[in-house]
Structure 1
Amino acid sequence: MDLEAVRTFVAVAEAGQFQKAAADLSITQQAVSKRVAVLERELGVRLFARTPRGAELTIDGQAFLPHAREVLRAAERAVASVRTGRRPLRVDIIASRGAASGLMRDFHRAYPEIDLAVVMLLDIERAVAAIRSGEIDASFRAVAAPGRPLPEDIESVRVLDEPLQLLTGPGHALAGARSVTVAELVGHRIWMPGIVPGSEWAAYYEDLVAEFGLTIEATGPNFGSDALLDTVADTPALATFMSEGTRLVWPAGHGLRRIPVTDPTLVYPHSLLWHRDHPHPALATLRAHLAATAPRHGAAGTWAPDWVLPR
């Protein structure tokens, strides 16, 4: 489909006259008529009816108009996607309620002039492939699980260590504690449905269990955070881990508790990944912003697996 013909059709529809559309497009009225005629032949319908008042859309023209506008918008997005410095910075944040989402919201507030597109990809292999193909510009990850190093063309920098908290219902044995040590968690059932085998967060919790002898259960289907909160609130024997930056709202009757974990503080490490050879122009601004605003990693008294340390 000829985009110039579609653009001309929309111009005539909005102007209501072929002559006015010609002036708006800086072309002759004859050129406008020719383009509309070509489009009508291609579609096999009449798009306008000539009247003393000008050009009025036929029923077919009315049906085609919203789609024509969308075709033009899609074309503009396609051009912007490859125009240097014009397309949005595309960043994978894994989940909308997590710390990475908060980091990107803060970045957007600090730099509203930078066009930003946020996506959510589940696994690190998909994220790395998307970075290498140019589908996205960066991704927040825990770097790579053991035995699966990042490709040589992927750069990473650790930007945030996010403390874990224990989330319990009001009837849990630890519900009244202001903080709990890791040793005090031994023997308690920590329920975390939705851990994907082979993912970097699965590797994180596997190392956590091996290091401290905790009991983490990933049994049962994952019905989302609301179902998780309902179950924890109603089951005194269950607790779950929740990252400090995870934003959650629950009914007042749940009486849930978010309890800091200490000695050591368990932190989930977030790193920013990007392609070494063709970074987006705004990526340097994002990295500088994260370096200036995100809490420093590797603080004394914290724990994270060795394999997530910077390369």
Structure 2
Amino acid sequence: MVFRAPRTLSWTGLSRGARLTIDGQAFVPHARALLRAEERAAASVRPGHRALRVDVLGRRLSTAGLLRGFHRAHPEVELDVVTLLRADTAVDAVRDGTIDATFRAVPLPGGPLPDGVEAVPVLDEPLHLCTGPAHKFAAAHAVTPSRLAGHRIWMPGNAQGTEWAAYYDALAAAFGLTIDTIGPDFGVEPLLDAIADSPTPATFVGERTPLVWPVGHDLRRIPLRDPTPVYPHCLLWRTDNPHPALTALRDHLAATRPRLTEGETWTPATPAGAYAVRLRPT
């Protein structure tokens, strides 16, 4: 950024020195303010000095709730919250230092994590079945995943090549389910509208994913049991990232990680050699 003083900015010579003209005195405070703004702008993108920048994939997902919990515990830490759709984009941003961390499901589709990028589990989120009031399982206290075989599970947001689509593909294969991804993805609200109005489709949502719907929808969230499928949220970061708040974030997530104590759980089995990840044990 280059500042050019107006031609009226000049100095009046005096026997004991020089002083700004009246125009110059009017100009200098504004120039100083612009210089301070330039310094703040540069610091906002300088690793180690800018706010801690974390990708949560979606601001209405449970990982955003994890970050809000960290903010409540550490209000002194400046945060930049970003949402990146693709896992490869997020991992590249972590590797390049554009962001400091990302929440993703590991293993990721498409290959191993880059050298120097590490992952640690932070939340195994149980799945719920979301149905309308006329659905066969609407009154159930819990449902075994295998009982959903033959029922339409509608998830138009499962874009191929994403880690959540890979997870649900593995879930469908493990329990003989049919997950329908056909149709435009208009977002959560239109999906819930369609489920509320029909006895046929249902969808999966995470236990900690907040959903809000009109009272008349009378939607149901039904836990899955025996086993409980859990979505494996992990935090990914670059091991040599110098940001001083990154350690505080990892420590907070480790200390507050929920523990599953009821029954058996299910996560996608990883075939030998399918993925190579550096997953830090907990």
Q: Same fold (TM over 0.5)?
A: yes
Tell me: CA distance 1:221–1:291, structure 2 relative to 1, closer, same or farther (3 Å): same
Give the CA deviation at 1:2.
3.5
Tell me: CA distance 1:175–1:278, structure 2 relative to 1, closer, same or farther (3 Å): same
1:123 equivalent in alignment to 2:86: yes
Separation in structure 1 between the aligned mates of residue 77 and residue 22 of structure 2, nearest angstrom: 37
Which structure is larger by alpha-carbon Rg, 1 or 2? 1
SS in 2 for 1:306: coil
- TM norm structure 1: 0.77
Separation in structure 1 between the aligned mates of residue 183 and residue 24 of structure 2, nearest angstrom: 64
Kept after mapping to 2: 8 A contact 1:143/1:150: no
**Structure 1 segment 95-244 matched on structure 2, within 5 A:** 95-146=58-109, 148-244=111-207
Give the CA deviation at 1:72.
5.1
Separation in structure 2 between the aligned mates of residue 254 and residue 192 of structure 1, nearest angstrom: 18
1:73 equivalent in alignment to 2:63: no
Kept after mapping to 1: 8 A contact 2:109/2:162: no
Kept after mapping to 1: 8 A contact 2:87/2:108: no
Tell me: CA distance 1:81–1:148, structure 2 relative to 1, closer, same or farther (3 Å): same
Which structure dedicates a bigger proportion of its chain to helix? 1
Separation in structure 1 between the aligned mates of residue 206 and residue 222 of structure 2, nearest angstrom: 11
Q: How many correspondences in the alignment? A: 265
Separation in structure 1 between the aligned mates of residue 215 and residue 227 of structure 2, nearest angstrom: 31
Give the CA deviation at 1:143.
2.1
Tell me: CA distance 1:133–1:174, structure 2 relative to 1, closer, same or farther (3 Å): same
1:30 equivalent in alignment to 2:20: yes
- TM norm structure 2: 0.84
For 1:97-129, what per-residue CA distance to the aligned partner results, in whole angstroms no more than 9, with x for missing partners? 111000000000000001111000001100011
SS in 2 for 1:105: helix
Separation in structure 1 between the aligned mates of residue 4 and residue 69 of structure 2, nearest angstrom: 40
Q: 1:277 aligns with which of 199, 221, 240?
A: 240
Give the CA deviation at 1:144.
3.4
CA RMSD of aligned residues (A): 3.0
Q: 1:90 aligns with which of 32, 53, 61?
A: 53
| Percentage of pairs with the same residue | 52
SS in 1 for 2:88: helix
Give the CA deviation at 1:281.
1.2
Separation in structure 2 between the aligned mates of residue 252 and residue 172 of structure 1, nearest angstrom: 17
Tell me: CA distance 1:78–1:190, structure 2 relative to 1, closer, same or farther (3 Å): same
The equivalent of 1:250 in structure 2 is 213
Gaps of 5+ in 2: 10-17
For 1:199-239, what per-residue CA distance to the aligned partner results, in whole angstroms no more than 9, with x for missing partners? 11111011111111011111100000010000000111100
Gaps of 5+ in 1: 10-27, 40-64
Q: Which is bigger in relative contact order (C-alpha 8 A, separation at least 6)?
A: 2
Kept after mapping to 1: 8 A contact 2:132/2:217: yes
